[in-house]
Chain A
Amino acid sequence: GAVVSQHPSRVICKSGTSVKIECRSLDFQATTMFWYRQFPKQSLMLMATSNEGSKATYEQGVEKDKFLINHASLTLSTLTVTSAHPEDSSFYICSARDLRDPMNTQYFGPGTRLTVL
């Protein structure tokens, strides 16, 4: 149980294009999903908290107009990196929390490696 998928697993795009990453909870409903970014040999950095049916809450320093988050259903959240630039190249990881879990366990997706040329 508690499986989270992400798609795509890897994407290479040209500078200036937009990239959409999907995060799905496969066997549970997730009112809350989280988006993280991780640069090589660095810690996980929380970018935003995504709540189903409402606007995402972004961490300080994360541009909400650049990283668009949509959480339209209890099993799907999407992150769109708009007008991507080489400095956006990173490992993007989502996690999801089962709405029935009072202890807020997060289950991570496998991640999406973004390379912007």
Chain B
Amino acid sequence: QKEVEQNSGPLSVPEGAIASLNCTYSDRGSQSFFWYRQYSGKSPELIMFIYSNGDKEDGRFTAQLNKASQYVSLLIRDSQPSDSATYLCAVNMGGGYSTLTFGKGTMLLVSP
């Protein structure tokens, strides 16, 4: 059974700090990896995706992928109170499978 694991949190960081969110997955054949942000009462919105080992940066966000260790992480630099949300990690197997397997999400709280 495909699994995606995330620490539920909450992860509390002060404003301006770096928030580090981690995710591990069980299917070694997984090919694409996504981070979504979900504010309370809203639907998920895509933040970043990553396909290759290494780092991918987009503004204050950096996604890191290590396929050998089967983990993917999201770093948020200069965290803002508006970043307070639940962050969902999602994984796709590829190979014709279109579904994403979601983790349960990590709640991030950024305090002013």
Contacts and interface: CB of A to CB of B under 8 A. Distances in A.
Given A49-B98, A93-B43, A108-B43, A103 B88 contact: no
Given A103-B51, A104-B32, A43 B99 contact: no
A16 B88 CA distance: 34
B91 to A, nearest CB: 10
Interface residues of B, number: 23
Interface stretch (B20-28, B56-64, B100-108): B100-108
Contact of A103 (B31, B44, B105): B31
The size bracket of the interface on A is 10 to 19
B97 to A, nearest CB: 8
Contact of A104 (B92, B102, B105): B92
Given A103-B51, A104-B98, 12 more contacts: A32-B98, A43-B102, A44-B44, A46-B102, A104-B92, A104-B99, A106-B90, A106-B100, A108-B36, A108-B44, A108-B45, A110-B43
